[in-house]
């Protein structure tokens, strides 16, 4: 067995992506697209993904170490399962063959794979007590490696220390003073679940005050462009509502009347 899929396995898993890939085989959405997505809202991304048939890409109900800070990056996924001795022994043996750290530090195995712009996405089945994947030491390692943060469907510890880290954000279910225990790492860069959302390695993670959107890599550019268009249209729409040029019924629709669309294009050209 392997702790993480091979490059060929990841390429097959994410075959809808035809662009550049990271050394581990994950889709590598470019930095410019990530920067554009940092200005997108949850609702803008949700609208685009829904139109493309992706109806279960949102997960809500999170706490954050830095509320209001936008989280954007490429997913490195990991899953933990409840501890079972024979399975844990197999994982420890596989880790040893692959030169990973001692078997009782399996959460560190994930962190050692992270690169700049990655988001560690950890499914630990919502466990908080003895489900604290990181504290401030491992959080500092994530911050230095990624410059972004993590999403943990489970617990954290050392909330004060994690909250003091600059330039990152950690989404989590709750905090607890206990250390991680009684779980076994099921895999790195495997499909994982966040709430009702399935996350694949290389997905773009967009964390906002509303929650987590998981954007398939092949739709990242589409979402970024559409979000920019929606943002500009929102500015125009609010201006015209404020001066009562149009009614809310005219503005709050998917497709504007031809006269409103023409007015928008004229306004856009003047403000380009």
User: Where exactly are the structural domains of the chain?
Assistant: 7-216, 222-270
pLDDT band of 190, cuts 50, 70, 90 = very high
Segment 226-239 mean pLDDT: 88
Tell me: pLDDT of 21 over 90: yes
- pLDDT tens digits along 80-99: 999 999 999 999 999 999 99
Three state DSSP letters for the chain = CCCCCCHHHHHHHCCCCCCCECCCCCECCCHHHHHHHCCCCHHHHHHHHHHCCCCCCEECCCEECCCCCCEEEEEEEEEEEECCHHHHHHHHHHHHHCCCCCHHHHHHHHHCCCCCCEEEEEECCCCCCCCEEECHHHHHHHHHHHCCEEEEEEEECCHHHHHCCCCCEEEEEEECCCCCCCEEEEEECCCEEECCEEECCCCEEEEECCEEEEECHHHHHHHHHHHHHHHHHHHHHHHHHHCCCCCHHHHCCCCCCHHHHHHHHHHHHHCC
- pLDDT tens digits along 93-150: 999 999 987 666 899 999 999 999 999 999 999 999 999 999 999 999 999 999 999 9
Tell me: pLDDT of 230 over 90: no
Quick one: pLDDT at residue 103?
60
pTM here is 0.90
CATH homologous superfamily of domain 7-216? Ribonuclease E inhibitor RraA/RraA-like (3.50.30.40)
């Amino acid at each position: 067995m392997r702790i993480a899929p091979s490059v060929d396995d990841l390429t097959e898993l994410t075959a809808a992506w035809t662009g550049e890939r990271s050394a581990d085989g994950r889709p590598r959405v470019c930095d410019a697209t990530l920067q554009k997505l940092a200005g997108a809202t949850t609702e803008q991304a949700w609208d685009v993904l829904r139109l493309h048939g992706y109806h279960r890409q949102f997960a809500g109900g999170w706490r954050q170490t830095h509320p209001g800070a936008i989280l954007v990056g490429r997913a490195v996924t990991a899953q933990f399962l409840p501890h079972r001795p024979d399975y844990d022994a197999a994982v420890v043996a596989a880790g040893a063959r692959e030169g990973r750290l001692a078997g009782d530090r399996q959460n560190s195995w994930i962190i050692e794979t992270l690169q700049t712009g990655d988001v560690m996405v950890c499914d630990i089945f919502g466990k908080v007590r003895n489900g604290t994947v990181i504290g401030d030491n491992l959080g500092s390692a994530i911050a230095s490696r990624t410059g972004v943060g993590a999403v943990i469907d489970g617990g954290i510890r050392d909330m004060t220390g994690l909250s003091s880290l600059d330039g990152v954000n950690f989404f989590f279910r709750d905090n607890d003073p206990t250390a991680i225990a009684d779980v076994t790492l099921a895999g790195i860069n495997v499909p994982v679940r966040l709430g009702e959302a399935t996350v694949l390695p290389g997905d773009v993670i967009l964390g906002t005050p509303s929650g987590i959107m998981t954007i398939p890599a092949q739709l990242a550019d589409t979402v970024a462009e559409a979000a920019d268009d929606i943002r500009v249209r929102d500015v125009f729409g609010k201006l015209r509502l404020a001066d009562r040029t149009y009614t809310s019924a005219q503005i709050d629709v998917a497709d504007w009347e031809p006269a409103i669309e023409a007015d928008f294009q004229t306004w856009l050209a003047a403000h380009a």
